[in-house]
Amino acid sequence: MDATVTKRWLLARLYEPEQTIVDCRFTLGKPEAGRESYEQEHIPGAVYLDLEHDLSSPVGEHGGRHPLPDPQVLAARLAKLGIGNGSRIVAYDDESGMNAARLWWLLRYLGHENVFILEGGFSAWKAEKFPVTDHQPVRVPSTFATNIQPQMLADVGEVRLQKASAASSSASPALPVLIDSRAGERYQGKEETLDKKAGHIPGAVNYFWKNTQNEDGSYKSSEQLEEHFAGLDKDAEIIVYCGSGVTACPNILALEKAGYRKVRLYAGSWSDWISYEENPIATGEE
């Protein structure tokens, strides 16, 4: 099954007991807005997970603006919400799926594959006049055991090695491809509103994450995405990053939908890379 589900698919399964719907709405710069929106109205039965409080750990000197949460802390939070290893999770937001994709990636990293993203998000659901409520469900705690998938993750050391090998005359042709998921202006270093330095990791190629979606917020078809990523070798190892490890996740989803299987997330992303003064920075096109 695809990693995304339609509004009508969810409507038909809205009250199935093995399912948990998760509201992931969050607005950068307005950290309370997502929870306030959830408390005002949400899809019936949905619980809320906050990007910064639940799906990230506290910011430190390194690790970027949204460091990955401690797996056991996240597992305990999921269990408290009644999410167990037998649960089917459907996540949504109102930010083109970027926060829902963060939860999708995190759950798979914890070893839980039965997770999906609602195409179009909350506004599209409401526009169809599908049910919404302000009632917050009472959830019976469950048990969530982790099975960490380390092959899904890349750290700054691996990215440095990749860049060092790429600069070497003896570089292997099988080096990982580094993808920057941010908008072209940020990748090129023409503007930067979120991080202290502008530019990109040297050698990275730019595939803006929103270009994987249609205007209605649904993902493009597998065939369209294959065409979008046509410049990439399907057998290549790919490391994906963005500003803080959030919008890289929808790009990872799109790459997998297009048939790429060796895809990893550089979780700290650009905001982690620039926290090391010795790391080089590139601008312009590659």
Distance CA 14, CA 141 (A): 20
Closest to 106 (Cα-Cα) out of 52, 152, 59, 60:
152
Distance CA 187, CA 219 (A): 22
> Which residues are catalytically annotated?
242
| Structure tokens, 42 | 């949400």
- Distance linking the first and last C-alpha atoms of the chain: 36
Distance CA 78, CA 75 (A): 5
Cα 230 from chain centroid (whole Å): 22
- Mark residue 96 as left, alpha or beta (left: phi above 0; alpha: psi -120 to 50; beta: remaining): left
The number of CA neighbours under 13 Å toward the Cβ of 134 is 4
Is residue 111 within 8 A of residue 72, CB to CB? The reply is no
Cα 152 from chain centroid (whole Å): 12
